[in-house]
Structure 1
Amino acid sequence: MNEIRNKIEDMLDHGEIVLASFHCSLEIFIYRIVPWPGVLTATNKRVLFYAEGFMGKGNEIVNEYQYERIHSIKFKKELFGSKMVFAYDSEWYKFLHVKENDADTFMEAVKEYSVKGSFQ
């Protein structure tokens, strides 16, 4: 975890502060839908998802989401786990294996720094 946090901190701009961060899996499509484990981080400027590459081959995933382009954010409890979903531009992003406490802290940070102010 410390190695991943160090990589995330290296990606931050000057004056950017981590508000909330937790492990989860981003649902992506690689020939089929698969959960890709990584760390979702909210800062005072943006949201980042960082995932290490498969077997350390250097194909890491780094997604950046600007607050002004996040239209809604939701946390859903389901029978086989929990997920957080948010609308970014015209796409939906699903983050699986999310703990409720992590989601609460993260969603508060996103809502506070969002230009829109409130979500659905």
Structure 2
Amino acid sequence: MKEISEGKAAIKNQLEPDEEVKSSILCTYNAKMSARYTPYRGILAVTNKRLLFYSSLFGSPFHLDIRYEAVSSFRHKKGLILGGDHIIVMNNGEREDFQYVNGCDRLETFIEAVQKLKQLPEGSVHV
């Protein structure tokens, strides 16, 4: 993904008619491809219905759609081992790891938007 505007436009194109973006962050997502992980730099958006991630690697678009009902845990992790700020989402038993990159909204704004929606199961949000 070359430009933030490209990511925001791609997210907007994925929205359902009654869906709106509440906040979005620039981040890197480590996608498991075959037996190894590939880092995708892109945008993670929180909407009133789901989390959406978009990236484009070598011109090939990559989308990740995480419905709130599939999320069992949403965590903000910070530390030396992980290196920087991470959002860890357990999605249908799979660990989705997003590393925050400065750009778009502040991380705190993004986390507050997730908390305000109250779409995730009670006790699943750990910040």
Shorter-chain TM-score category?
Answer: 0.7 to 0.9
TM-score (norm 1): 0.83
> RMSD of the TM alignment (CA)?
2.0
Larger RCO of the pair (alpha carbons < 8 Å, separation 6+): 2
Which residue type is aligned with residue 49 of structure 2? Answer: K
TM-superposed deviation, 1:91: 0.8
Instruction: Extract unaligned runs of 5+ from structure 2.
Output: none
Which residue type is aligned with residue 72 of structure 2? Answer: H
**For residue 25 of structure 2, what is the aligned residue in structure 1?**
22
1:78-117 Cα offsets, whole Å, 9 max, x none, are 2232211011111111111356x73333333334242523
Question: Structure 1: which 4+ aligned runs deviate by more than 2 Å?
Answer: 29-34, 101-113
TM-score (norm 2): 0.79
SS at match of 1:2: helix
Write out aligned runs for 1:18-97 (5 A).
Answer: 18-30=21-33, 31-54=35-58, 56=59, 59-79=60-80, 80-97=83-100
Instruction: Extract unaligned runs of 5+ from structure 1.
Output: none
Task: Give the percent of matched residue pairs that are identical in Structure 1 and Structure 2.
Answer: 30
Greater helix share, 1 or 2?
1
Residue-pair matches, total = 116
SS at match of 2:106: helix
Greater strand share, 1 or 2?
2
Indicate if the aligned counterparts of 1:45 and 1:67 stay in contact, CA closer than 8 A. Answer: yes
